[in-house]
Amino acid sequence: MNIIIHRNGASHAGEPTDASRQSPTDSRRRILVVEEDEAVRQINAHLPVPSGCQVASAEDGAAGWEGPDANKLDLLISPTAFIHPEALVDPGATIGARTRVWAFAHVVKGAVVGDDCNLCDHTFLEGKVILGNRVTVKCGVFLWDGNTVEDDVFIGPGASFTNGLRPRGRNHETQLLETHLRQGCSVGANATILPVTVGRWAMVAAGAVVTRDVPAHALVRGIPARLTGWVCRCGRKLNCQDRAEATCHCGRSFRKAPGSCILENS
């Protein structure tokens, strides 16, 4: 179902109730549930109605709220998204189709989460975080303003991110730096990522401390993280140390390029 919440409304989706029982003049916080099919209703039927809220059902948002109320709708959770009853999704966040947000995850107002993502227990997304599609964020990962995560990225449990090089308490003039995780890259468990760019399909080993940009398809590990090899998009290590080209077991082929990088052959 689509769930739309008013500004200053509650954070959780509620079990749909009979729209005819809702008063349009009710001053309580209101949630609109846009039903699409019976399967969606069954998946979300266990979610409790938040205290102090009223829930209305409709086939589409326009039918649910009309007139001045239409411009006050603030939170959109896509039809097949699943929000655990113990998760916290702030009004103003966006959750994509078929995305799952598990217990004790917190998605702050302004954060954007794409389709088919998986936010595991005890994860946190600050308000300027952007996640693409099919992103997996494992338990204990906190993403801060300036973190941009592209499609198909994997972030392992306990991985840490920073957005400042010289942090001080209550120093609001500190410039927040950006971290970009490019398409398909993987960050291993307990790795620490400073404000850098991790290239497409690169792999950061567990426990590594990344202090500089990582090239596409690179395998980095250690403290600080060093380039130790190359990986295919399927995750297998490539044998291209003494060769101009390398072919993975999956059939993809690669060639060395000027500088410390390799390119996938089309």
Please state the domain extents for the chain: 2-239
Q: Copy the structure tokens of residue 200.
A: 């497409």
The residue among 16 and 151 whose pLDDT is bigger is 151
Q: What is the DSSP letter of 20?
A: G
Mean per-residue pLDDT for 121-126?
A: 97
Per the CB < 8 A criterion, the answer to whether 217 and 231 are in contact is yes
pLDDT number for residue 243: 67
pLDDT number for residue 241: 67
By percentage, how much of the chain surpasses pLDDT 90? 43
Q: Is the pLDDT of residue 19 over 90?
A: no
Q: How far apart are CA 196 and CA 182, in angstroms?
A: 11
Q: Is the pLDDT of residue 11 over 60?
A: no
Q: What is the DSSP letter of 230?
A: E
Bridge partners for 262 per DSSP: 256
Q: What is the DSSP letter of 49?
A: P
Q: Is the pLDDT of residue 41 over 80?
A: no
Phi then psi for residue 43, to 5 deg, are: -60, -40
pLDDT number for residue 77: 65
Asked if the bond preceding 215 is cis, omega within 30° of 0, the reply is no
pLDDT number for residue 138: 98
Edge-to-edge strand list for the sheet holding 245-247 = 245-247, 253-257, 261-264
Mean per-residue pLDDT for 186-214?
A: 97
Bridge partners for 238 per DSSP: 230
Closest CA to 186 of 253, 235, 248: 235
Q: Is the pLDDT of residue 143 over 60?
A: yes
For domain 2-239, give the CATH number.
Answer: 2.160.10.10
User: Hey, what amino acid is at 171?
Assistant: N
pLDDT number for residue 97: 84
Q: What is the DSSP letter of 61?
A: H
Closest CA to 190 of 221, 149, 147: 221
pLDDT number for residue 164: 85
Instruction: Render pLDDT for 76-99 as a digit per residue (tens, 0 to 9).
Output: 666 678 889 899 988 778 888 889
Bridge partners for 264 per DSSP: 254
The residue among 246 and 54 whose pLDDT is bigger is 246
Mean per-residue pLDDT for 17-39?
A: 40
pTM to 2 decimal places: 0.72
Q: Copy the structure tokens of residue 4.
A: 């739309």
The residue among 138 and 128 whose pLDDT is bigger is 138
Identify the weakest region by mean pLDDT among 71-80, 87-96, 175-184, 209-218.
71-80
